[in-house]
Amino acid sequence: MAPVRRILLKLSGEALMGPDAFGYHADTLAGFVAQIREVTELGVQVGIVVGGGNLFRGATGALSGMNRATADSMGMLATVMNALALKDALVQAGVPARVQTAVAIAHVGEGFERDAAVRELEAGNVVIFGGGTGNPFFTTDTAAALRAAEIGAGLLLKATKVDGVYTADPKKDPSAKRYEALSFDEAIARNLGVLDTAAFALCREQNLSLVVFNVFKPGALKRVVMGEDEGTRVSNH
C-alpha cells in the first residue's frame, strides 16, 4: 500500500519530556525525530502541531488564580518553544524543517500562512505549527484538526502515550477496552477524552480521518502512514 501523501501529526508537549517531569528529554526527542525522518524518506509531507504541556498549561495557571486568557497566552508561547526545540532536533538530524507561529513573534519563526506552509511541504520541508490556534480557550488538539483541514492533510495523527482510543481513560480505568476503529459520532456521544470535543467535531465536519497511536513504540508512525494495523482509527464511517 502507498503511504498517505500528506499528514498532520499532533505531538503532545508531555511526550517531549519522556521520563522526566518537565522540559525536554534528548533521547526521547531523538526517537521522535528518527520516526519523522523515516516517513519523510517515504515521500510523506509532514506538518506538525506541538503541544505545550511539558512547560505550561493555561488551565493550570488559571487554577492558581491567573487570568485564563493570560495563562493561555503563556501556554501558546510554551508551544512555540517546543516548536523551536523540535525544529532544532530535526535540522540537526538532517531533516529540513520550518516553524510557523499562530502568534506573531518577529525573528523567531514565520507567521502562519497556509499557502506558504503548503509550498514548504511540497518542497520537502517539515512544517511545525507553533502557538496553537492563536486563541485562548482552545487546545493544540483543535489546532491540529484546524491545520490538518487547512493544509489538506489526508490523515490527522495523534501521537500520544496510549496505543489508541479506549472505552474510558485507560490511565484511570484498568478495565477499559481499546477500539480498533470507531466513528466521530460515537467518540463524541461517549465523551471519549483522548481528544477534546471541539477537535473531534471539526474532524467530523471536515471528514478528516484520525489515527490515535503510541509514539513511544518504535516504527509506529511509519506503520500508521502505511495504513497498517496500528492504533485506533476514527472516521465518519
The annotated binding site for ATP is made up of 10-13, 53, 57, 160, 166, 169
| 152 Rama class: left (phi>0) / alpha (psi -120 to 50) / beta | left
Among 72, 120, 163, 230, which residue sits at the site for ligand UDP (rule: CB under 6 A)? 72
**Residue 58 to residue 61: CA distance in whole angstroms:** 5
Selected range binding ligand UDP among 116-124, 127-135, 175-183, 225-233, rule: CB under 6 A: 127-135
Q: Is 130 in the site for ligand UDP (CB under 6 A)?
A: no
Of the candidates 4, 33, 11, 42, the one whose C-alpha atom is nearest the C-alpha of residue 214 is 11
The enclosing H or E element of 7 equals strand 6-11
The residues that touch ligand ADP, with contacts defined as CB under 6 A, are: 12, 14, 53, 160-162, 165-166, 168-171, 192-194
**Considering beta carbons, is residue 69 or 123 the nearer one to ligand UDP?**
69
| Smallest distance from ligand UDP to CB 92, Å | 22
| Smallest distance from ligand UDP to CB 9, Å | 12
**Strands 45-50, 126-130: pairing kind:** parallel
Q: Pick one of ligand ADP, ligand UDP, none as the site partner of residue 193 (Cβ within 5 to 8 A by kind).
A: ligand ADP
| Smallest distance from ligand UDP to CB 10, Å | 7
* Residue indicated by cell numbers 501523501: 5
How many other C-beta atoms can be found within 10 angstroms of the C-beta atom of residue 40?
17
